[in-house]
Amino acid sequence: MTSPAPFAAIILAAGMGTRMRSARHKVLHRIAGKPMLLHLMDAVDALAPAEKVVVVGAGRDQVEAAVAGRAKIAVQSEQLGTAHAVRMAEDALAGFEGDVVVLYGDTPLVKAETVARMLDRLHAEDAPVAVVLGFRPADPLAYGRIIADTDGRIAEMVEFRDATAEERAVTLCNSGLIAARAADLWPLLARIGNANAAGEYYLPDVVTLAAAEGRACVVIETEAAEVAGINSRAELAALEAAWQARRRAEAMAAGATLLAPETVWFAHDTIIGRDVTIGQNVVFGPGAAIADDVTIHAFCHIEGATVATGAIVGPYARLRPGAELGEGVHVGNFVEVKKARLGKGAKANHLTYIGDATIGAGSNIGAGTITCNYDGFNKSLTEVGEGAFIGSNTALVAPVKVGDGAITAAGSVITRDVPADALAVARGRQEERPGWAARFREKMRASKAR
Ligand code: UD1
Ligand code: MG
C-alpha cells in the first residue's frame, strides 16, 4: 500500500482521558492485548509515512515509553484543544511540505486503507483543502457533526456542545481524522480561536474557516466500527467486542472451526492455521501461533506459544510464553507448559507442570509430573530424551537429565541424571506387615470400650 505523495502522520495523545478513571493513559489501554496507540502506529506504518509525530502532554512519560523511539514527540503542556495540539507538532515538522494526516489516539482501529483513501481524495482533480473522515454511528451521541452536501462538500463542522437541535439531528459524524497539505494546514490552524462552549481550540474549525472562504473541504465516509472513539471503559469494552467479533469471522473464513465463536478470545497477533478446531472458552494472549490440523479443547489459555500440526491441547491446558509443542503432541487437562519444547508425538496428558525443559520426541510424561525448575533464586533446565517414560507423580529436580528410553518409577524424586534406557527408582521402598491392620483395629476398639 502506498500514499500518493509523502505524508506526515500526527497522532494526538495529550489528553489523559479522565473519563477512563485510570492511572494509565487512555491511549495505552489495550485492545486485543495491544495498546491503542500501537494499533494506530502499526496502521500508519503500513503506509510508510515520511514523518510521524505523537503529541503528548498529560501522562507523557507513559506515552513516550510506549512510543519507544518509533515517532517524534511533540509536547502540549496544557490541553487547550485538538487544534492547539496539532499546532504543537509544527516545529517537529519544520521544512516538511507534503501532506499531513491527523489521527486521534483514542480512535485506534483505523485501517491503513482508509488513511490511503483520504490521501487519494486530497489529490483528486478538485484538490480539496482538507479531507475529513466521517461516519454514521447507530447512535451519534456527542460526536462532532459534519454539515455537508450530498457530494461530500462540507459547509461547516460543529461540536455537539455548540450544535443547534437541527445540527444535532445530522447523522454524519466526525471521526477526528483529517488530511490536508502542510502549506494549507499551518496557516489555517494559526487562525483558529476558542470562542466556543468548551473554550477550546477545535481542529474541525480548520474546515469551517476554509469553507467560509469558499475553499472546498470534503468528507469521505467509513464504517462506524472502524472509527468509534474510546472515552470510557464501557466504550473500550464495546470496541474490544467488535474487534473480537471481526477476528472470529476472519478465523472461520480462513478455515478454522470455532465451536462457540462468541467465547473465543484472540490477541492482535494470533496466528491460526487451517482445519484448526477451537472449543469453547479458549483465550489467546499475545504471541500464539497454531499450525494446521490442531485441536484445542475447551477452557485453554494460550500465550507466547507455538503449536505444531496435529497437536491436541486441553481441555483446561495452559500454554505460557516459550511453550513449543511439536507435531502431534498431546497436552491434556490441567497441564501447564512454560519455556519448554515438547518433541514430536510427546504426551503430557494430566496434571503436570513442565517449565524450562526439553522433552524428546515420543516421550510420555505421567500424570502429576512436575519439573522443579526454580529454587527461589535460579531457574534450571530439565532435559528428557526421546522415548522416555516419566512415571506418574515424578518430581524432576532441575538441573537434571533423563536419557533416551529411560523410565522413572512413579512417585520418584529425580535429583541425579538418569542414563539412557535405565530405570530410576527414587522413593521409599514398600514393606508389608501381615495382620498388622487387623491387630491395630482390635487394640483401638478395646481401648475405646474401656
Ligand atoms: C473529538 C472531536 C469530535 C469528534 C470526536 C471523535 C474536536 C474538537 N472534537 O471529540 O468532533 O467527533 O473527537 O472521537 O476535535 N487531545 C490532545 N490535546 C487536547 C485535546 C485532545 O492531544 O488538547 C487528544 C486526546 O488525547 C484524544 C484526541 O485528541 O486522543 C481527541 O480528544 P477528545 O477529548 O477525546 O475529543 P472528543 O471530545 O472525543
Ligand atoms: Mg474522544
**399 upstream amide cis, omega within 30 of 0:** yes
208 Cβ below 6 A of ligand 1 = no
Domain contains 368:
yes
* Residue 17 φ/ψ, nearest 5 degrees: 85, 60
Ligand having the closest approach to the CA of 17: 1
pLDDT for residue 5:
85
Ligand 1: which residue has its CA nearest to atom 8?
202
Per-position pLDDT tens, the chain of length 450: 777 789 999 999 998 789 999 999 999 999 999 999 999 999 999 999 999 999 999 999 999 999 999 999 999 999 999 999 999 999 999 999 999 999 999 999 999 999 999 999 999 999 999 999 999 999 998 999 999 999 999 999 999 999 999 999 999 999 999 999 999 999 999 999 999 999 999 999 999 999 999 999 999 999 999 998 899 999 999 999 999 999 999 999 999 999 999 999 999 999 999 999 999 999 999 999 999 999 999 999 999 999 999 999 999 999 999 999 999 999 999 999 999 999 999 999 999 999 999 999 999 999 999 999 999 999 999 999 999 999 999 999 999 999 999 999 999 999 999 999 999 999 999 999 999 999 999 999 999 998
Please indicate, yes or no, whether residues 75 and 151 belong to a single structural domain of this protein. yes
Q: Could you tell me if 53 and 181 lie in one domain? A: yes
Cα(405) to centroid(ligand 1), Å: 65
Q: Are residues 165 and 17 in the same domain?
A: yes
How many A from CA of 176 to the centre of ligand 2?
8
Q: Is the CB of 59 under 6 A from ligand 1?
A: no
Ligand 1, atom nearest to 57 Cα: 22
Residue-range definition of the domain harbouring residue 166: 7-227
**Ligand 1 close to Cβ of residue 80 (< 6 A):** yes
Nearest to 346 by CA among 291, 314, 373, 384: 384
Tell whether 432 is covered by a domain: no
Q: Which ligand is nearest to the CA of 143?
A: 1
With helix as H, strand as E and coil as C, how does the chain read? CCCCCCEEEEEEECCCCHHHCCCCCHHHCEECCEEHHHHHHHHHHCCCCCEEEEEEECEHHHHHHHHCCCCEEEECCCCCCHHHHHHCCCHHHCCCCCEEEEEECCCCCCCHHHHHHHHHHHCCCCCCCEEEEEECCCCCCCCCEEEECCCCEEEEEECHHHCCHHHHCCCCEEEEEEEEEHHHHHHHHHCCCCCCCCCCCCCCHHHHHHHHCCCCEEEEECCHHHHCCCCCHHHHHHHHHHHHHHHHHHHHHCCCEECCHHHCECCCCCEECCCCEECCCCEECCCCEECCCCEECCCCEECCCEECCCCEECCCEEECCCEEECCCCEEEEEEEEEEEEECCCCEEEEEEEEEEEEECCCCEECCCCEEECECCCCECCEEECCCCEECCCCEEECCEEECCCCEECCCCEECCCECCCCEECCCCCCCCCCCHHHHHHHHHHHHHHC
Same domain (yes/no): 287, 347: yes
176: CA distance to ligand 1 center in Å? Answer: 7
Q: 215 and 269 share a domain?
A: no
435 within a domain of the structure (yes/no): no
Report if residue 441 sits inside a domain: no
Provide the residue type at 73 as one letter: I
Region of 367 (left: φ > 0; alpha: ψ -120 to 50; beta: rest) is beta
In this structure, what CATH number is given to the domain that contains residue 202? 3.90.550.10
**Whether 291 and 358 share a structural domain:** yes
Q: Tell me, rounded to whole angstroms, the distance of Cα 261 from its chain centroid.
A: 18
Pocket of ligand 1 contains residue 231 by CB under 6 Å: yes
Ion ligand 2: residue ranges with CB closer than 5 A: 106, 229, 231
Same domain for 206 and 247, yes or no, is no
CB 364, CB 380: distance < 8 Å: no
Which residue's CA lies nearest to atom 22 of ligand 1? 14
Instruction: Evaluate whether residue 437 is within a structural domain.
Output: no
Which residue CA neighbors atom 28 of ligand 1 most closely? 104
Please tell me if the CB atom of residue 176 comes closer than 6 angstroms to any atom of ligand 1: yes
Cβ contacts of 351 within 8 Å, gap of 6 or more? 333, 334, 335, 367, 368
Q: What is the CATH number of the domain that holds 288?
A: 2.160.10.10
Tell me, yes or no, if 350 is annotated catalytic: yes
Dist. CA 104 → ligand 2 center (Å): 8
In a domain, 338, yes or no: yes
How many whole angstroms separate alpha carbon 383 and alpha carbon 398? Answer: 9
Give the list of residues 6+ apart from residue 428 with CB closer than 8 angstroms, or none. none
Structural domain contains residue 439: no
**Whether 406 and 285 share a structural domain:** yes
Note whether 274 and 145 are same-domain residues. Answer: no
Q: Check if 82 has its Cβ closer than 6 Å to any atom of ligand 1.
A: yes
Ligand 1: nearest atom to the Cα of 85: 18
Same domain, 127 and 265: no
Q: How many domains does the chain divide into?
A: 2
Same domain, 364 and 405: yes
Instruction: Judge whether 56 lies within some domain.
Output: yes
Atom of ligand 1 nearest to the CA of 78: 23
